[in-house]
Amino acid sequence: MASKVAVIEIGTNSIKFCIGMLDETGHIVYITDTALPTRLGEGLDRTGLISSEACKRNVVAVAECVVQASEVGVSKIIVIGTAAVRRAVNAAAFRSSIKEQCGVDLHVLSEAEEARLSYEAVLYGLNVPSDGVLMTMDTGGGSTEFVFAEGDRVIRSFSVPLGAVVLTERWGMQDAVSDPTLKQARAEIRDLLSRAGVCGPVALAVGMGGGVTALAAAAERLRKYTSGAVHGSILTAEKTEELLLAFASRNAAERKEFANFPPGRADIVLAGACIVKSAMELVGAGIMTVSAYGLRHALVRELLTLPV
């Protein structure tokens, strides 16, 4: 059994870096669990390419994570890519750069793998009721993963190519948006989610990912973000709508009056709120439980050979 393991998750908006180990009681202790605003997907929706600058930023960040992991004696490192790497025409070149400059292989998760790991993270991080249909959604910069399950049985899981970075660039959501633009964007989001299969009813909705945790931070008016402060908290449909409209009338700098968002989050928080609210509407969920655990935590558990 590995004593310390590391996961480097290269997302569309940020790199999430996690080091975990088992303590004397067999529980996981996270030595490091942080996010770096590297925005791999910058301009990807328009060009289909990972830009040279985005590539450089992410390669440098991965290299720094590898060094940190080595310094604390990590025995295994896994590097994973999600929606941006799946989509980019030049993904192979990016993977080669990671290998050549960081000395690690980049494994690109399939949509199914990403959805499964997100679901396992929810089971690991929250006490989920066994009765009724559970929906989990994992909001990312380039895609959103959904799982619908009942008891121990996954009914269906899928990924929708809608993420906060993509939508922010498409609709100019980094700044205040007009009512007609917001209405049009929300209609498009709702239509795409509906056609992908997001529908209810569900007994419980659980959200994770930066879009959800940023909303939770704003709802709680956090001046200092910590995962513990939002994990297990509740977002109501009313509060989500209230925050969505408030973000829509403000630019990125002005949105920080609601919470001390992590770097690289305030400009895309409106797009994330639109995705979350649309999903809640489609499944008839008046509330959503927030999970601060993500697929990196599920992977750490797998590497440490622990069951969900």
Domain residue extents for the chain? 4-111+295-303, 127-290
The predicted pLDDT at position 10 comes to 98
The predicted pLDDT at position 81 comes to 98
pTM of the model: 0.92
The predicted pLDDT at position 306 comes to 67
- The neighbouring-strand residues paired with 35 are 16
Q: Which CATH class is domain 4-111+295-303?
A: alpha beta
Distance CA 297, CA 51 (A): 29
Mean pLDDT score, 207-228: 93
The predicted pLDDT at position 307 comes to 57
Mean pLDDT score, 124-146: 91
The predicted pLDDT at position 262 comes to 81
- Tokens describing residue 62: 């991965």
Mean pLDDT score, 165-191: 97
Q: What are phi and psi of 8, to 5 degrees?
A: -115, 110
Mean pLDDT score, 169-179: 97
Only one residue has tokens 């590097």, namely 79
The predicted pLDDT at position 153 comes to 87
- At 1, the pLDDT band (50, 70, 90 cuts) reads very low
Same fold, 4-111+295-303 and 127-290: yes
Q: Given strand 15-22, what is the order of strands in its sheet?
A: 28-36, 15-22, 4-10, 76-81, 106-108
Say yes or no to pLDDT of 2 above 60.
Answer: no
Determine the angle formed by the axes of helices 179-196 and 164-171, rounding to 10 degrees.
140
CATH of domain 127-290: 3.30.420.150
Per-residue buried b or exposed e for 27-54, using 16+ beta carbons within 10 Å of the residue's own CB: eeeeeebebbebbbbbebbeeebbbeeb
Sort strands 106-108 and 76-81 into parallel, antiparallel or unpaired: parallel
What residues contact 178, with CB distance under 8 A and at least 6 apart?
none
Say yes or no to pLDDT of 235 above 60.
Answer: yes
Q: What are phi and psi of 207, to 5 degrees?
A: -120, 145
CA distances (Å), 146 to each of 26, 88, 166, 201, 305, in order? 30, 22, 18, 14, 25
In percent, the amount of the chain with pLDDT more than 70 equals: 98
The predicted pLDDT at position 124 comes to 85
